[in-house]
C-alpha cells in the first residue's frame, strides 16, 4: 500500500496560529494555538511541539506568513506585527527544533489566499485576478499571467498601501480608510461609545438607521476606490474580496452601486466577487504553494 502524502500547513497570525494536516489533498480538522511573540525561540518551540507531536511522519511543512516574504531565499524580510521574525529564515531555523528534518516552504499570507482561490475557489478558471483582503489591516495579492506577481522586492500586491485621498488626507494609505477598525472608530465617534463596543460587520444589518448608513456608505466608497484603482492598474478578469466582513450580504450590492457612480468605471469594469474561502484560505494556499514549489506538482489535489 502506498503511504499517504502528509503536509502540515501553518497559518501564522498576529495573535493566533492555525494548523492542519493535508493527507493526499484531504484537509483534516484545523487546530489553533496562541502565537508566541516574546521571542523567536518561543515561536519555534510552539511550532516544533505541533510538528513533533504528529502521529505519522510528515512529507512537508507549509507556512502562510504576514509581511514581505522573499520566496527565493525563504526569508521573512518583514512579518507584519511579528517583529521577532523579521529577517529570519523561518523554515531553515525551525529544523533545529524538530526531531527529524522536514522540507518547508513559506509564502505571504495574502498570496496564499489568492492561491487558495485559484486552487479550489472562485478563481479556478482565471489566469488574471486580484484579491483585496479586508480586516484590521488591508492586504492584497495579484495573480497575473497565470501566477503570483511578487515584484522585484516581494512587495507587489500591497493594495492597502495605495494613497487615495491626498488633498485632505495627505499620505494616509487605504489602510487608514478601509480597515474594519475604521468602521468601529467612526461608529464610536458618531454614537459616543467605546470603540470596542461594536462588531464592524454588524453595521451592515442596521442600514435602515440613517446615522449608521452614512458611516457604512463612506467606508464603501473607499472600497470602491480601491477596486477601481486596482482594476485600472492591472486590468484583471476579476477582483475578489476577502475577509469576514465581505460575507455580509449587503456588501457586494453596495460596492457595485458605488462603482457605478465612478464615471470612468465603464472603461475598466470587471467582475467583483467574494472569495469562496475565508477561514481556511491561508491553510489551503500554503498547502498549494508547498506542493507546487517543493513537491513539483502541477495538478494539486484537494478535497
**157-204 pLDDT tens trace:** 999 999 999 999 999 999 999 999 999 999 999 999 998 899 999 999
Residues 99 and 19 in one domain: yes
Average pLDDT for the chain: 94
Q: Over 60: is that where the pLDDT of 298 sits? A: no
**197-233 pLDDT tens trace:** 999 999 999 999 999 999 999 999 999 999 999 999 9
Residues 129 and 158 in one domain: yes
Contacts of 266 (CB under 8 A, 6+ apart): none
Contacts of 154 (CB under 8 A, 6+ apart): 68, 69, 70, 71, 77, 108
* Mean pLDDT of all residues in 126-137: 93
**Packing angle of the helix pair 281-293, 109-120 (nearest 10 deg):** 80
Confidence at residue 302, expressed as pLDDT on a 0 to 100 scale: 46
Pairing relation of β-strands 31-34 and 16-23?
A: antiparallel
| Number of structural domains the chain divides into | 2
* Mean pLDDT of all residues in 66-77: 95
Query: What residues pair up with 140 in beta bridges, in sequence order?
Result: 132
Q: Which domain holds residue 13?
A: 6-111+280-294
Q: Over 90: is that where the pLDDT of 91 sits? A: yes
**Whether the Cβ atoms of residue 119 and residue 228 lie closer than 8 Å to each other:** no
pTM above 0.85, yes or no: yes
Residues 189 and 231 in one domain: yes
Residues 101 and 142 in one domain: no
* CATH classification at residue 240: 3.30.420.40
Residues 152 and 77 in one domain: no
Residues 93 and 154 in one domain: no
Residues 40 and 84 in one domain: yes
Residue 116 inside a domain? The answer is no
* Mean pLDDT of all residues in 75-100: 96
**CA-angle at 56, arms to 51 and 59, nearest 5°:** 70
Residue 59 inside a domain? The answer is yes
Confidence at residue 181, expressed as pLDDT on a 0 to 100 scale: 93
Residue 135 inside a domain? The answer is yes
- Give dist(CA 46, CA 40) in Å, integer: 10
Q: Over 70: is that where the pLDDT of 301 sits? A: no
Confidence at residue 4, expressed as pLDDT on a 0 to 100 scale: 80
- Give dist(CA 47, CA 16) in Å, integer: 12
What distances in angstroms separate CA 163 from CA 133, 159, 171, 200, one per listed residue? 17, 9, 6, 23
Residues 257 and 133 in one domain: yes
Confidence at residue 1, expressed as pLDDT on a 0 to 100 scale: 45
* Mean pLDDT of all residues in 239-243: 95
Extract the C-alpha cell encoding 153.
522586492
Residues 22 and 85 in one domain: yes
Q: Over 60: is that where the pLDDT of 40 sits? A: yes
Q: Over 70: is that where the pLDDT of 296 sits? A: no
- Give dist(CA 264, CA 171) in Å, integer: 24
Residues 148 and 263 in one domain: yes
Residue 46 inside a domain? The answer is yes
Amino acid at each position: 500500500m502506498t503511504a499517504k502524502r502528509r503536509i502540515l500547513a501553518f497559518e501564522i497570525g498576529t495573535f493566533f496560529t492555525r494548523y492542519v494536516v493535508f493527507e493526499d489533498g484531504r484537509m483534516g480538522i484545523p487546530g489553533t494555538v496562541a502565537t508566541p511573540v516574546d521571542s523567536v525561540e518561543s515561536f519555534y518551540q510552539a511550532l516544533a511541539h505541533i510538528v513533533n507531536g504528529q502521529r505519522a511522519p510528515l512529507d512537508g511543512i507549509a507556512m502562510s506568513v504576514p509581511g514581505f516574504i522573499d520566496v527565493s531565499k525563504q526569508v521573512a524580510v518583514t512579518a507584519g506585527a511579528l517583529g521577532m521574525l523579521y529577517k529570519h529564515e523561518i523554515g531553515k531555523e525551525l529544523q533545529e527544533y524538530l526531531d527529524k528534518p522536514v522540507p518547508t516552504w513559506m509564502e505571504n499570507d495574502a498570496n496564499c489566499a489568492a492561491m487558495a482561490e485559484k486552487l479550489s475557489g472562485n478563481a479556478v478558471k482565471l489566469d488574471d485576478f486580484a484579491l483585496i483582503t479586508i480586516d484590521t489591516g488591508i492586504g492584497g495579492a495579484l495573480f497575473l499571467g497565470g501566477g503570483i506577481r511578487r515584484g522585484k522586492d516581494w512587495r507587489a500586491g500591497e493594495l492597502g498601501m495605495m494613497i487615495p485621498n491626498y488633498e485632505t488626507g495627505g499620505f494616509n494609505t487605504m489602510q487608514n480608510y478601509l480597515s474594519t477598525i475604521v468602521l468601529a472608530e467612526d461608529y464610536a465617534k458618531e454614537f459616543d461609545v467605546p470603540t470596542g463596543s461594536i462588531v464592524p460587520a454588524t453595521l451592515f444589518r442596521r442600514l435602515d438607521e440613517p446615522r449608521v448608513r452614512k458611516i457604512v456608505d463612506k467606508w464603501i466608497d473607499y472600497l470602491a476606490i480601491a477596486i477601481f484603482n486596482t482594476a485600472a492598474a492591472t486590468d484583471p478578469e476579476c477582483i475578489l474580496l476577502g475577509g469576514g466582513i465581505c460575507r455580509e450580504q449587503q456588501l457586494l450590492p453596495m460596492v457595485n452601486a458605488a462603482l457605478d457612480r465612478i464615471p470612468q468605471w465603464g472603461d475598466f469594469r470587471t467582475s467583483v466577487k467574494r472569495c469562496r474561502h475565508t477561514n481556511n484560505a491561508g491553510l489551503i494556499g500554503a498547502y498549494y504553494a508547498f506542493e507546487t514549489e517543493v513537491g513539483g506538482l502541477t495538478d494539486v489535489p484537494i478535497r
